[in-house]
A and B are shown apart, each in its own frame.
Chain A
Amino acid sequence: MSFEPKIVSFLCNWCSYSGADLAGTSRVHYKPNVRVIRVMCSARVDPTFVVKALAEGADGVLVCGCHPGDCHYSEGNYKTMRRMPLLKRMLADFGIEEERVRLEWVSASEGTRFADIVDDMTERLRALGPSRVKTALAYDAVER
């Protein structure tokens, strides 16, 4: 069987989650590889969430928030914008490929954009192959 990546996606309630809902009401189909976790704002996404998802077997993590300047909480997405680049640098030091973690802005009217992002990320992760984090940790627990 071919490899099907599992993507955990954190969506802000006001823009991106609504955007994903809009994809639904407009019946815009996309790959079923994504599992959405709703947060009120992308700024709620503690880097720990991303790391935890990777440690527990996610092949990719997608964080989506309102477009810059359009945050429901006026500037929450700027906090996310500061957090994600450093998190990505850090993950690189742990040997985690850049494509595995992605930050995108998706507004409430961009259902199609959300679908496109999920499809694109799924394709890229398929090409990249499964994340080694979970298997490595499982291996370490038995084999030294």
Chain B
Amino acid sequence: MTERRIGVYVCNCGTNIANVVDCDAVAEAAQSLPGVAVSRSYKYMCSNPGQEMIVQDIREEGLDRVVVAACSPRMHEPTFRRAAEMAGLNPYLVQMANIREQCSWVHDPGETATDKAKDLVRAAVYRAACHEPLERMAVEMCPDTLVIGGGIAGMSAALELADAGNRVYLVERTASLGGNVARVDLTAPYLDSARDMIVDRVTRVVEHPNVDVLLESELERLDGFVGNFKATLVRRSSGEAPPRQVVDVGSVVVCTGYKEFDAARVTHFGYGKLPDVITSFEFEQMLKQGRIELKDGRLPQYVAIVHCVGSRSEEFHGYCSRVCCMTALKYAHEVKSALPKAYVSDVYVDMHAFGKGCEDFYRRSAEVKTLFLMYGKGERPVVRRADPGDDCEMLLTVDEQLSGELIELPADLIILMVGMEPRDDAGQVAHLVNISQDKDGWFIESHPKLDPVATTTDGVYIAGACQSPKDIPDSVAQARAAAARILGKISRGKLEIDAMYAEVDEDLCSGCRVCNEICPYSAIEFDEEKRRSHVISALCKACGACVATCPSAAIKARHFTDAQIFAEITGVLA
């Protein structure tokens, strides 16, 4: 091997690294490693002057490899790859050593942390010496999109894409569009009609020449990769041999929404046993029919609304479902306008009124004479039948936090504000489109703050309440953001996909076919004629399973070769 000229850059990250690791000592130690031409320690490598330092050294010192010891490669690898590219160095000749997230932030200051950083830098230097320049592949971007779920998010994404002139396949499992929003009467905080909103969207979607609405249909299989997916769609309604179609799409937006928490899982409210304990969605149904009444047809005199059913509890879901507080206030308004003489009490844990216009709405609700009672998180208001002679049907016992008193509240109708939870088959959907779920079952976005609609699978986006509980405006915003991401890709026409994939050296392959079954993407094909296996690089997602399996060492994982990983092993242990 000709002598390498490696540049090593040890980032201090202000004091984030330098307070724990002796960065100057790490840079000095790296100086004597084989092939290292330049080794520097600098305050902020990711800053403009930091990147400029690398660019200049590549040009003036003739560096052929760059090692940056800094934060996680998941954070700034793209940054330093771009810097190398600017200086005319292939971006795959850059290697990072993670001395922040996996060193300075998790260890105490001192020699051991510094020693560990030196080990990690040595491994990166050894590895970088084995790096090879790689070229990214350019692939076509199919401008068609698959949107899964015909709720408010799905329809919004579909319209945004279709209005821009692109074909959209909108797949909805049920027989109608609208999703959960279609089950709602008015919406908080402006009390505008959900129906009007939905009807307008549905009409536009159905009539749109660029949108193919597929009702009672599901995604059965998704093959391919960003820009070039093949989606198998199946119609569920029609008996024995359901009709299938395979469509080519470049992107997928998952908008599968949520389902409401099953109130029967909470026993102390008597849901399912007491006739007039109902869920928020059952109450919406009543509102849509225009008549608030008890099971026996009488009008309720006392209406109690209970918050956080299934939400913010250790027993069920720890998270807040976000829309129930404002929906509860909306109910107070609707009850008061339908039954001005009724007493409405609102039994809550904390009042979450964080959205635009929500705080005003909360204030206005107090003005319509709603009685607010606060119960403690983890406490359980208990419902029982009222005694004969009481002028109400039920009694709700609340350990009221503000007064400190145990209050028995009369109630004829109790509305349980049930929270949101992931749909039962969210796991199957995640599996189909290869995305992950968090501990509660919601789909995980690429980055919680900086990349909230993309996922870890390139070309697959998430929008709406399938990602976490969300109100209508947030769902719509996310849907249109996903559409915008896709439109950006469509407008570029071609996509560059990562240069990491596996390749078979046909001179070494024996045709044993051990690897054929290993690939989860069927990217390995066996050529009967040549009796050799080969990798269809566009389908390969670079996991490396076949590489580890190949007993002939005939498959190479580009950028994760045996030689590179061996060098890293030797490096950390030297």
Contact = CB atoms under 8 A, between A and B. Distances in A.
B573 interface: yes
A14 B431 CA distance: 15
Interface string B397-424: 0000000000000000000000000000
A44 B74 contact: no
A45 B548 contact: yes
Given A17-B74, A69-B427, 13 more contacts: A21-B101, A21-B102, A24-B72, A24-B102, A32-B107, A35-B123, A35-B572, A44-B547, A45-B548, A47-B548, A70-B436, A70-B437, A79-B548
Interface of B: 72-74, 98, 100-103, 105-108, 112-113, 115-116, 119-120, 123, 427, 431, 434, 436-439, 444, 456-457, 500, 518, 520, 541-545, 547-549, 557, 560, 562, 565-566, 568-570, 572-573
A40 B543 contact: yes
B72 A21 contact: yes
A6 B573 contact: yes
Closest 8 CB pairs of A and B: A24-B101, A44-B544, A43-B545, A41-B543, A35-B572, A73-B543, A46-B548, A24-B105
A130 interface: no
Contact of A39 (B106, B565, B573): B565
15 contacts: A6-B572, A17-B74, A23-B101, A24-B100, A32-B106, A32-B107, A32-B115, A35-B123, A37-B565, A43-B543, A43-B545, A44-B543, A44-B544, A45-B548, A46-B562
A89 B569 CA distance: 22
A58 B544 CA distance: 23
A44 B544 CA distance: 5
Given A24-B101, A40-B542, A29 B116 contact: no
Contact of B518 (A21, A27, A39, A79): A79
Contacts of B105: 24-25, 27
A18 B456 CA distance: 12
* B interface secondary structure, majority: helix
Contacts of A23: 101-102, 106
Contact of A30 (B100, B106, B541): B106
A76 interface: yes
Contact of A53 (B113, B431, B573): B573
B108 A29 contact: yes
B560 A73 contact: no
B543 A29 contact: no
Contacts of B119: 35
A83 B544 CA distance: 14
B456 A32 contact: no
A28 B548 contact: no
A43 B438 CA distance: 22
Contacts of A108: 436, 444
Contacts of B72: 17, 21, 24
A128 B434 CA distance: 41
Contact of B456 (A21, A72, A109): A72
A30 B103 CA distance: 9
A56 interface: yes
A37 B456 CA distance: 20
Interface in A87-127: 108-109, 115
Contacts of B520: 73-76
B124 to A, nearest CB: 10
Contact of B572 (A8, A21, A39): A8
B573 A37 contact: no
Contacts of A8: 569, 572-573
Given A14-B456, A37-B569, A76 B116 contact: no
A43 B544 contact: yes
B106 A74 contact: no
B80 to A, nearest CB: 15
Contacts of B439: 109
Interface string A1-30: 000101010000111011011011101111
A48 B569 CA distance: 11
Contacts of A14: 436, 456
Given A32-B116, A72-B456, A74-B434, A40 B573 contact: no
A41 to B, nearest CB: 4
B545 A79 contact: yes
A49 B553 CA distance: 13
Interface in A50-96: 52-53, 56-58, 66, 69-70, 72-76, 79, 83
Contacts of A18: 74
Contacts of B545: 41, 43-44, 73, 76, 79
A40 B565 contact: no
B101, B116, B557: which has the most chain A beta carbons within 10 Å?
B101
A27 B108 CA distance: 11
Contacts of B572: 6, 8, 35, 37
Contacts of B74: 13, 17-18, 21
A98 B570 CA distance: 22
B523 to A, nearest CB: 11
A74 B113 contact: no
A43 B436 CA distance: 18
A74 B436 contact: no
Nearest to B104: A24
Contacts of A13: 74
B541 A73 contact: yes
A55 to B, nearest CB: 9
A38 B273 CA distance: 55
A109 B438 contact: yes
A45 B548 CA distance: 6
B573 A28 contact: no
A56 B572 CA distance: 10
A58 B103 CA distance: 19
Contacts of B112: 4, 32
A53 B437 CA distance: 33
A115 B101 CA distance: 12
